[in-house]
Structure 1
Amino acid sequence: MSESRHAVFGHPITHSLSPRIHAHFGRQTGIPVHFEAIDATPETFPTALEAFAAGGGTGANVTLPLKEAALALCAEVSDRARRAGAVNTLVRKGGQWHGDNTDGTGLVRDLTARQGVDVRQRRTLLIGAGGAAHGVAPALIDAGIGELFIVNRTTARADALVDKLGLPGRVHARYFEDLHAIGEFDLVINATSAAREPGSTNAESGLPKLPTSLVGTRTACVDLSYGEVAIPFLAWARAAGAHNVIDGVGMLVEQAADAFKLWHGVRPYTDEVYTALRERDALLVTAD
């Protein structure tokens, strides 16, 4: 069996665990895999993707800040990618790119099957309205969450995501200034992309100071990122007394397994690689 060529595109990308995850999946399934990380900005992404395809690339993951840009480069997209307005998985078919989005299913599977979080009817706050938020919002709704509130540094983007979801009365856009009076949530998800400083209100940080009134005794707080970039939000969640504090490693592994199946026709087991990542890198663990 010849070795296939795959990659993850993003900026920055040197921190990515995806090459390690897919190498593990390849060993587990006996499928030869060559998986690399390629740094690309929104401006250089189209050229980099074209060069990747010319060099034999047959599939790719796409991470921040390229998920919405990837949608525009696809000849065809799945229904869930179309609903999300963002693509995180590319498959080369007939000389063209076909796009899908496995972020939302990856998040829901990690929360429900691994972390033991029942998302049904949970009043949910989504912080951010970029590609990551677009990827997970439809899947959360399909999984049965209750009301969904979306806040974003640029309010027009939050309004656009609410309009795209098309569920008036159930999905709402709010200003950051509203958070002090909006009550507590059962599920708080940080989908912002920039590195943060605790307590920062600088627009460049991506995350303002959050009131602890958002968190109740049964609240699950989730950061879609992992590693150092997730530390400020997770620290805030613990200080606020959240019941569950969860980073994005589990979601990353689950969405990668879904992508692997799209490329190779088999979905690998995920618990082994999830445990290996936790043990080897001493990444942030979930707090009960």
Structure 2
Amino acid sequence: MWTKKAEKLFGLIGYPTGHSMSPTMHNEQFRVKELPYYYHAFNVHPDHLKEAVDGMKALGVSGFNVTVPHKVAVMDYLDKIDEEAEIIGAVNTVVNENGQWVGYNTDGRGYVDSLKRVIGDQLKESDILVVGAGGASRAVVTALALYGVASITITNRTVAKAEEIRRMLPENYHINVLNKTDAESQTSTYDVIVNTTSVGMYPHVNETPWVSEGLKRGCLCSDLIYNPLQTRWLEEAAANGANTINGVGMFVGQGALAFQKWTGIEPDTDRMTEVVVEELGGKKSDAYR
């Protein structure tokens, strides 16, 4: 256990936060990097969000993460919002910069980093299908578009929500919107398929968000869910010859970027991954498959 007196305090605000693995992940990195810092999860009811943010500043907190249900509402109480976070319409990381709260969104870029770890520069040439049009989809689509992938198609039960995401980005980003039936008919054309919905998450582990047959040879199926570590969809996709990646990579990626913004230090993402997977009851090999 790291025993030095904490010189800086970081944290997480959400409701609830008891399930979060962020404290374990970040405090382990503070220990490994020999930084006298501490990370704590704060359970903040939506009715007290403004008071919580003001209190964090009054206490001299150096930065904090934001999780559901506060990612959008917190923007009203910050001093500045990063351009990418403005586009996404949500903040998940706040940094105390010279006494001002500056909001960022590291979810999307954290996800892109996790994909690059698996397929490298091939990501630039990929035709990608994104399933879902919620907050996670907005972050993923924005980051993939800014990274410059070949094309992005969004499909969702409510097409109008997918259209909202397309409209928030310039036309030159090559973003298409299809209903589920039309998107399924083109399954064999996608290099990467991303599930950004909660379909298949514990306890509804027998549900699947997308077909697992007719996938393009070498397709990468990516599920943002990490509980369970291997969703039924990923298992079925792997059985049909696809490569797969679960949501641990995105969770670690967004945390690593937050860590860098707070400390200016590159974290050990391999160790962060091990800590998260161990917390979930898995082993290291479960992180990227």
TM-score range relative to shorter protein: 0.7 to 0.9
1:209-220 alignment runs, 5 A limit = 209-213=209-213, 215-220=215-220
Deviations 1:169-222 (CA, angstroms, capped at 9, x unpaired): 82012223333323321111111246463565xxxxxxx752235622211111
Taking structure 1 as reference, are residues 176 and 68 closer, same or farther at Cα in structure 2, changes over 3 Å only?
farther
Aligned counterpart, 2:276: 277
| SS of aligned partner of 1:159 | helix
- Aligned residues of 1:199 and 1:210 also touching (Cα < 8 A): no
Which structure 1 residue ranges, 5 or more long, are not aligned?
201-207
Taking structure 1 as reference, are residues 209 and 134 closer, same or farther at Cα in structure 2, changes over 3 Å only?
closer
Whole-angstrom CA distance in 2 between matches of 1:2 and 1:40: 22
TM-score by length of 2: 0.82
Moved >6 Å (runs of 4+): none
Note if 1:76 corresponds to 2:80: yes
| SS of aligned partner of 1:218 | coil
Whole-angstrom CA distance in 2 between matches of 1:261 and 1:169: 28
Aligned counterpart, 1:205: none
TM-score by length of 1: 0.83
Whole-angstrom CA distance in 1 between matches of 2:234 and 2:53: 34
- Aligned residues of 2:7 and 2:36 also touching (Cα < 8 A): yes
- Aligned residues of 1:127 and 1:150 also touching (Cα < 8 A): yes
Which structure 2 residue ranges, 5 or more long, are not aligned?
none
Taking structure 1 as reference, are residues 232 and 165 closer, same or farther at Cα in structure 2, changes over 3 Å only?
farther
Deviations 1:73-109 (CA, angstroms, capped at 9, x unpaired): 3221122222322211111245542111222221222
| SS of aligned partner of 1:225 | coil
| SS of aligned partner of 1:217 | coil
Whole-angstrom CA distance in 1 between matches of 2:13 and 2:133: 20
Whole-angstrom CA distance in 1 between matches of 2:45 and 2:163: 25
Whole-angstrom CA distance in 1 between matches of 2:62 and 2:176: 39
Shift of 1:163: 0.4
Whole-angstrom CA distance in 1 between matches of 2:254 and 2:14: 16
- Aligned residues of 2:238 and 2:244 also touching (Cα < 8 A): yes
Between the two proteins, the alignment pairs up a number of residues equal to: 278
Whole-angstrom CA distance in 1 between matches of 2:125 and 2:244: 19
1:1-288 alignment runs, 5 A limit = 2-40=6-44, 44-113=48-117, 115-117=118-120, 118-167=122-171, 170-184=174-188, 185-193=190-198, 195=201, 197=204, 200=207, 209-213=209-213, 215-228=215-228, 231-239=231-239, 241-279=240-278, 281-282=281-282, 284-287=286-289
Identity of paired residues, percent?
31
